[in-house]
Amino acid sequence: MLRTTVDLDAIAHNVAYMKDVAAPARLMCVVKADAYGHGIERVAPVMEAAGADSFGVATLEEAVALRGVIPKAPIAAWLWDPKEDLTPALDAGIQIGIPSLEHARALIATGRRAEVFVLVETGMHRLGVDKHQWEETFALLRDVPTLTVLGLMSHFACADEPAHPHNDHQEAEFREALACARGVGLECLVNHLANSPAVLTRPSARFDQARVGVALYGLEPVAGRDHGLIPAMTWESSVLTVKPISQGESTSYGLTWTADSDRQLATVAVGYADGLPRAFQGALKVGLGGELYPQVGRVCMDQIVVDLGANERGVKPGDRAVIFGKGGMSATELAEAAGTIDYEIVCRPTGRTERFYREGDNNAQ
């Protein structure tokens, strides 16, 4: 009844496009959070076939799970606790991100061989070795024969605003960190700063590897631009009932919406238990038969109500109801209406939602 459909051909198109734009830099495909809700088991092999040179995730647990899907390609992870057991990740050959001096010491204490990236603070003030500890951290890692420092990495705070002056500042800081690392004797052959919007708008920031996430799933990373990316996910349910409501009557919990004329309402099977937030009340327009109809009243645990007006198109129980994707609002349109970002929207479908895939003319679970 409630399903997401992921278009694998769209994923392949987006990967190939971003690889072409990023060239000659290598392409790291970011598949954290189960490939942004699209499913790593089916999506990652498609990305690899379409040209991915390596993969990135957040946690070590994600990385180990991905290794079971992608046996050979490099996989990097950078979100871990210095007290965490690194054995499964190191056994799987995961490249380890070093976000602080403490993390560097924790990895060295294992005595294990590893390839690492050093996260450097450049102005986002989240993860990354602080500037006053760059030289100490680089020198410490240089002197450990079991460790290979592949390069540096950092993250833009405002790359989706190409003209923001902080982008210049962060790129300059990254170049300074790279000079510092090489000055103490690290080669740093694979360095990455650019995320999806920076890859598309800031060629100088592509360095040796482009670390691309949201664009792979077809979401436009720069507001107001159109780079020809193809959204991969559609979330849909079905109409449970269609019933009349008279002028002056109200619907759903709290009776927060009142009909201003006689009309018809459709009840659709989706709610906050499935990942549609209660706070999205009034932001969503549901696609029914190619038309968009406003969701009205409170979002319930497993139902929403949709205003059909006079129901001139004859919407009936059992009809397909698109929450976002083909036939409905785009994830970006829903995000803008709800005051959030489309990254969150595609990660939302959960609960009773089943995931299906489309490739060529085939649909499969």
Note whether 255 and 290 are within 8 A (CB). no
Q: Is 126 annotated as a binding residue?
A: yes
Closest C-alpha to 237, from 266, 267, 265, 270: 270
Catalytic residue among 243, 253, 316, 326: 253
* Cis peptide, bond prior to residue 24, ω within 30 of zero: yes
Q: Is 301 annotated as a binding residue?
A: yes
Map tokens 């760059």 to a residue.
Answer: 134
Catalytic residue among 17, 19, 32, 293: 32
Tell me the C-alpha distance between 186 and 207, whole Å: 16
How many other C-beta atoms lie within 10 A of the C-beta of residue 339? 9
Q: Give the pairing type, strands 75-79 and 54-59.
A: parallel
253 is a catalytic site residue: yes
Question: Exposed (0-12), middle (13-18) or buried (19+): which is 351, by Cβ within 10 Å?
Answer: middle
The kind and range of the H/E element at 116 are strand 114-119
Note whether 343 and 219 are within 8 A (CB). yes
Longest dimension (CA), the chain: 78
Note whether 98 and 112 are within 8 A (CB). no
Note whether 25 and 210 are within 8 A (CB). yes
b/e code 247-285 from CB counts within 10 Å (16+ = b) = eeeebbeeeebebeeebbbbbbbbbbebbbeeebbbbbb
Tell me the C-alpha distance between 1 and 8, whole Å: 21
The kind and range of the H/E element at 26 are strand 26-30
Return the active site residues: 32, 253
Q: Which residues are part of a known binding site for substrate? A: 126, 301
Q: Which residues are part of a known binding site? A: 126, 301
